[in-house]
Amino acid sequence: MPRDEALSNLRPTVRIRGLEMPVLDRAILAMTAREQVGGLASLELTLVDWSSAPDGRAGYAAAGSDNPLKLGAPIEIYCGDVRSPQQIFAGRITALEAESPRQGPPRITILAEDALFPARRIRRRRLFEDASPADIVRAVAQDHGLTPEIRDGLDAPLAAWAQVDETDLAFLRRVLASVDADAQAVAQTLQAGPRARDRRTERELAYPRDLLRVRITADLARQAAETTAAGFDPLTGEAVSATSADPELGPGEGRGAADILAAEFEGWQAHLGDLGALSQAEADALARAAQGASARGFVTADGLAMGDPGIRVGSRVALVGVNPMFENAYCVTSAIHRFDREDGYVTEFIAECAYLGAGA
């Protein structure tokens, strides 16, 4: 297939207010769509801002009352095979930037954020009593007109959650991080659940076929054999303490950091000194969440793959063709979908695994 035709088949497609925009598709110079743990996906889309009419007239494309590129307009980006493209971004235009370069045609860049954009702007002071993390997700979703989709595992602990001059997004992130969970906006749905159980999609990436490059690191520097938490229960008047038990480690197999530390360094213990638990259940949850999140970050892969709209935060990717010690199943924590007219469509990702494989 000629390069121009192959590039055309991989070019992102744009929808504004739900309508396909072939004229904008052809004008795309570059695209970057980002998502990460914690939610709030973003888009940067650069277009040629010049058009010619059949009658010979020419001028700026993004101008006039019929210009679809308006602040606040809903925008969607689709990537992949043109016969069955997949949505990689849905949100609203939050900024527009016009550029008139010294050489080349004028450009216009669209900046957009997903449905959590209002949640990062609105600050509140409120208290949720005897509420679970799932209750917090439902409340934030309702506040912003989103449909909650909550996986099992967020019904405990029941606690008092105070939002004190925090944005709704910061509050949501803090609550979910305390139980090792995450939330992502998918169109108008707010999906939430334990991070270790994420299985948004599954992919095999083989080097050098579709895994173009990767750097994989196993690092003990921030690992611990166990994690402890402590606090004071004001209802019982007693101190509470907990040691991480059975943390959720996610995909993969092999030797974990805790096993290696116990065998080679007599183990190290981490203590959550800055988080005061207010009940035994909260102490248990904090210790378990911190140990699980840390352990899953033992092995990290920073890679570049052929463009694949199925690589998303929460996806599980099997890396093959790399050093056997690092061949394993990983969970994606960051995904960046890029397109330009020189390199075409590629996907950058960061993924993590709690285990070292064969020969570790």
Of 147-151, 173-177, 240-244, give the lowest mean pLDDT range: 240-244
Using 50, 70 and 90 to split pLDDT, how confident is the model at 7? very low
- In terms of phi and psi (left: phi > 0; alpha: psi -120 to 50; beta: otherwise), the region of 134 is alpha
CATH code, domain carrying 132: 3.55.50.10
Q: Based on the domain organization, do 51 and 160 belong to the same domain?
A: no
Asked, for residue 243, whether it belongs to a domain, the answer is no
Asked, for residue 232, whether it belongs to a domain, the answer is no
Q: What is the chain's mean pLDDT, rounded?
A: 90
Q: Using the predicted structure, report yes or no on whether residue 3 has a pLDDT greater than 60.
A: no
Q: Using the predicted structure, report yes or no on whether residue 191 has a pLDDT greater than 70.
A: yes
The model's pLDDT over 52-72, given as tens digits with 9 standing for 90+, comes to: 666 666 566 666 667 889 999
pLDDT at res. 326: 96
Q: Are 45 and 339 in contact (CB under 8 A)?
A: no
Q: Based on the domain organization, do 27 and 140 belong to the same domain?
A: no
The model's pLDDT over 35-56, given as tens digits with 9 standing for 90+, comes to: 999 999 999 999 998 776 666 6
Q: Using the predicted structure, report yes or no on whether residue 245 has a pLDDT greater than 90.
A: no
Q: Using the predicted structure, report yes or no on whether residue 2 has a pLDDT greater than 60.
A: no
Q: Using the predicted structure, report yes or no on whether residue 299 has a pLDDT greater than 60.
A: yes
Give the up-direction half-sphere exposure of residue 288: CA atoms within 13 A in the CB hemisphere.
18
Q: Based on the domain organization, do 16 and 89 belong to the same domain?
A: yes
Q: Based on the structure, what is the number of domains in the chain?
A: 3
Q: Based on the domain organization, do 75 and 100 belong to the same domain?
A: yes
Q: Based on the domain organization, do 178 and 161 belong to the same domain?
A: yes
CATH code, domain carrying 315: 2.30.300.10
Last residue of a domain, one of 114, 136, 169: 114
Last residue of a domain, one of 114, 140, 174: 114
pLDDT at res. 6: 44
Q: Using the predicted structure, report yes or no on whether residue 161 has a pLDDT greater than 70.
A: yes
Asked, for residue 84, whether it belongs to a domain, the answer is yes
Distance separating alpha carbons of residues 184 and 192, to the nearest angstrom: 7
Q: Based on the domain organization, do 321 and 183 belong to the same domain?
A: no
Average pLDDT over residues 256-267: 88
pLDDT at res. 57: 65
Q: Based on the domain organization, do 209 and 334 belong to the same domain?
A: yes
Asked, for residue 107, whether it belongs to a domain, the answer is yes
CATH code, domain carrying 96: 2.40.10
The model's pLDDT over 173-185, given as tens digits with 9 standing for 90+, comes to: 999 999 999 999 9
Distance separating alpha carbons of residues 6 and 122, to the nearest angstrom: 44
Q: Based on the domain organization, do 202 and 349 belong to the same domain?
A: yes
The model's pLDDT over 344-355, given as tens digits with 9 standing for 90+, comes to: 999 999 999 999
> Which residues lie across from 139 on neighbouring strands?
none
SS3 sequence, the chain?
CCHHHHHHHHCCEEEECCEECHHHHHHEEEEEEEEECCCCCEEEEEEECCEECCCCCEECCCCCCCCCCCCCCEEEEEECCCCCCEEEEEEEEEEEEEECCCCCCCEEEEEEECCCCHHHCCEEEEEEEEECHHHHHHHHHHHCCCEEEECCCCCCCCEEEEEEEEEHHHHHHHHHHCCCEEEEEECCEEEEEEHHHCCCCEEEEECCCCEEEEEEEECCCCCCCEEEEEEEECCCCEEEEEECCCCCCCCCCCEEHHHHHHHHCCCCEEEEEEEEECCHHHHHHHHHHHHHHHHHCCEEEEEEEECCCCCCCCCEEEEECCCHHHCEEEEEEEEEEEEECCCEEEEEEEEEECEECCCC
Q: Based on the domain organization, do 46 and 150 belong to the same domain?
A: no
Q: Based on the domain organization, do 47 and 126 belong to the same domain?
A: no
Asked, for residue 307, whether it belongs to a domain, the answer is yes
Asked, for residue 24, whether it belongs to a domain, the answer is yes
Asked, for residue 19, whether it belongs to a domain, the answer is yes
Asked, for residue 252, whether it belongs to a domain, the answer is no
Q: Based on the domain organization, do 203 and 302 belong to the same domain?
A: yes
The model's pLDDT over 211-229, given as tens digits with 9 standing for 90+, comes to: 999 999 999 999 998 999 9
Average pLDDT over residues 147-168: 94
Last residue of a domain, one of 50, 83, 114: 114
Give Cβ neighbours of residue 253 (< 8 Å, ≥ 6 apart): 328, 329, 355, 357
pLDDT at res. 273: 78
The model's pLDDT over 93-114, given as tens digits with 9 standing for 90+, comes to: 999 999 998 888 899 999 999 9
The rounded percent of the chain whose pLDDT value lies above 70 is: 93
Q: Based on the domain organization, do 79 and 205 belong to the same domain?
A: no
Candidate ranges 42-51, 88-97, 231-240, 259-268; pick with highest mean pLDDT: 88-97
Q: Are 307 and 344 in contact (CB under 8 A)?
A: yes
- Which range of residues forms the domain containing residue 325? 198-219+298-359
Average pLDDT over residues 273-278: 79
- Angle among Cα 138, 152, 316 to the nearest 5 degrees reads 105
Return the closest-CA partner of residue 345 out of 302, 301, 310. 310
The model's pLDDT over 309-321, given as tens digits with 9 standing for 90+, comes to: 999 999 999 999 9
